[in-house]
Amino acid sequence: MLLNKLLILKSFIILQDAEGIDFAISRLKDNNSELVSNIIKFISQKQFSKAVEIINNYISENSQINIWIDEEVQSMKYEIEELELKYENLDSELIELHKYISDFEHRHSIELGELILKILEHRKLKFKNDKPRYNEAERDYEHYKEQFKTESEKVHFELSDDEKKELKTKFRKASILCHPDKVSDELKDTAQAIFIELKSAYESNDLKRVSEILQQLEEGNLFKSKSQTISEKEKLKSLVFELTRKITEIEKEIKTIKESETFISITSIANWDEYFQKTKEILQSELNSLQSANDN
């Protein structure tokens, strides 16, 4: 009977039992009605509150069972937890993309920076009698000099491949525990401060500090998800909308980075060691040519 099957499905949603939900859906797939199709569609999209709303409407029309608002609230909390998890994973991916680009740019400055500065300096000498081109070379030199100085002063720890994997794993665990966008409002400022320090430590490859922050978070158990602290139905609906909006924004940002010329260029480099060695040789050759021309 469809009514009983829907009651079972709703129970699994409220219990947040993913395997039970899959089982209940499998028992509905022989029903080709629009009602069942819509329920399955919303569940596949993890919009559990909408699925429960449809089920409740059907139950109210076909039985005398009382509908408790708590059931809708529970399903909405489950939906929020899924949205929070998706947002956390996307945010971690975004941070990792920025770090990937930042790591390349830092190494580029450290390995090639001094050579590039010498080349830019010799270009100024080359155009000393051509004021417009000299001014352009002067601007390029000063701009890169400032950039090189900033990168050189950055604290950036060298890690083995295993340590890099450990850093990434621990960062993701810690970020889930303290991400400011998922904690209750009264702890948002505290979470923000911890998350900023965690992100800074991650970007500089500071495995020791990331490990310390993770340990403190796991031992302190400071933060709870908004879905565990918010109970009013309207606030939960608002939170679903806000999380969905943020997910859409962060997906666009990730797409923009992956389609950028910088990211495509970096990812096209199969071996960074070989790339920097070859580039160094090319730059050294250019510097030698400039020095010879200027000496003459």
User: What average pLDDT does the structure give for the chain?
Assistant: 86
Domain ranges within the chain, ordered by starting residue: 2-67, 77-114+154-295
**Cα–Cα distance measured from residue 176 to residue 179, given in angstroms and rounded to the nearest whole number:** 6
Average pLDDT of 280-294? 91
> Helix axis angle, 233-258 relative to 48-62, nearest 10°?
140
Torsion, Cα 28 30 34 35, to 10 degrees, reads -20
Give the tens place of pLDDT for each residue, 3-61: 777 878 888 888 788 888 888 888 887 788 888 888 889 999 889 888 888 888 887 77
Residue whose structure tokens are 């929020």: 80
**Cα–Cα distance measured from residue 8 to residue 17, given in angstroms and rounded to the nearest whole number:** 11
Give the tens place of pLDDT for each residue, 102-114: 999 999 999 999 9
* Window from 97-101, 127-131, 165-169, 175-179 with minimum mean pLDDT: 175-179
Question: Are the beta carbons of 230 and 236 closer than 8 angstroms?
Answer: yes
**Cα–Cα distance measured from residue 253 to residue 95, given in angstroms and rounded to the nearest whole number:** 11
**Cα–Cα distance measured from residue 229 to residue 223, given in angstroms and rounded to the nearest whole number:** 10
